[in-house]
Amino acid sequence: MRFGRWIVACGLLLISAAVAAKNPPYPMGSVDELFPQPPKPVEHSYAIDDRTIHYWQIGDGPARILFLHGTPGGWKAWAHFMADPELQKRATMISVDRPGFGASDPGRVAPLMADQARLLAPLLDGPGAPTLLVGHSLGGPIAAELAMRYPQQVRGAVLVAPSIDPNTEQPRWYNVAMTLWLVKLIAPKDFVWSNQEIMPLVGELEKQTPRWASLKMPITVLQGAKDELVDPRTAAYAEKVLPKPNGKVVVVPDQGHFVLWNRPDLVIKEIIDVLDRTAQP
């Protein structure tokens, strides 16, 4: 009977994953569809090791912003922010397909935070550096890893619903199911690749825990109180580990994991706040 329930649960998981893969929570489409008016982001790429990382760039303001998507995902998760006129005036904005997703060697993920940071570090340099990091979900701890490893190149960070608390990020039953060969065979590829990042996450976050104290730049965590994917208790963890006085935690009472798409105004407000707090005199 338990095996039967497991099969049913796996079937429901695969149906849900297939629906989600076809209907991501952010707008999709071509660059022209997402940016009907100029300016439009321009695609770039760079080679590192034996990989190719693709990213899109827009804006010519005095600052520099790097957006990091969650898992799975792609650079278009941040299209609304890149189209914002105020942010375009303030910064050169970069949104990247993280290793293994989108155009960046799809399927060849980098599950370890150290590898993610090393592969993305070239994006910290360029017009407007040092760079403000903005990460959502798994993009949050990746942003933190970049700040921990390259503090001189990071001016601050805004972490939205970030998967940073090792106490609440244990793999769920469906993550375990996604490791089974049959499930991997028929599940949407993006979700199989995503699961390779999720399974070692707790250990990676435990490595980060003592290193939060080394951060000196302003860091804001924005967490929805109704988040169904990242435990809302992450806000309390952030209060504990973010160094004072530059740490800031904002809890949004009526929002869940997709607060960045439901309330982009709140995220933009916090981005501008960190830009202002770190502006050169």
Looking at residue 28, what is its pLDDT?
Answer: 82
Asked whether residue 124 is domain-assigned, the answer is yes
Looking at residue 121, what is its pLDDT?
Answer: 98
Residue 107 has a CB neighbour count (10 Å cut-off) of 11
Asked whether residue 196 is domain-assigned, the answer is no
Asked whether residue 67 is domain-assigned, the answer is yes
Looking at residue 1, what is its pLDDT?
Answer: 43
Cα(124)–Cα(139) distance, integer angstroms? 15
Asked whether residue 121 is domain-assigned, the answer is yes
Handedness of CA 34, 39, 43, 44 (dihedral sign): negative
Asked whether residue 184 is domain-assigned, the answer is no
Q: Looking at the predicted structure, is the pLDDT value of residue 12 above 70? A: no
Residue span of the structural domain in which 234 resides: 27-168+204-277
Looking at residue 2, what is its pLDDT?
Answer: 53
Q: Looking at the predicted structure, is the pLDDT value of residue 4 above 80? A: no
Quote the number of domains for the chain.
Answer: 1
Q: Looking at the predicted structure, is the pLDDT value of residue 244 above 70? A: yes
Omega before 122 cis (within 30°)?
Answer: no
Question: Please, are residues 46 and 279 in contact by the beta-carbon 8 Å criterion?
Answer: no
Asked whether residue 18 is domain-assigned, the answer is no
pTM of the model: 0.92
Q: 115-170: per-residue pLDDT in tens?
A: 999 999 999 999 999 999 999 999 999 999 999 999 999 999 999 999 999 999 99
Q: Which residues of 243-259 are buried (b: 16+ CB within 10 A; e: fewer)?
A: eeebbbbbbbeebbbbb
Q: 156-167: per-residue pLDDT in tens?
A: 999 999 999 999
Asked whether residue 262 is domain-assigned, the answer is yes
Question: Please, are residues 145 and 154 in contact by the beta-carbon 8 Å criterion?
Answer: no
Handedness of CA 225, 226, 227, 228 (dihedral sign): positive
Looking at residue 182, what is its pLDDT?
Answer: 85
Asked whether residue 1 is domain-assigned, the answer is no
CATH number at residue 259: 3.40.50.1820
Q: Looking at the predicted structure, is the pLDDT value of residue 6 above 70? A: no
Q: Which DSSP string corresponds to 238-267?
A: HHHHSPTTTEEEEEETT--TTHHHH-HHHH
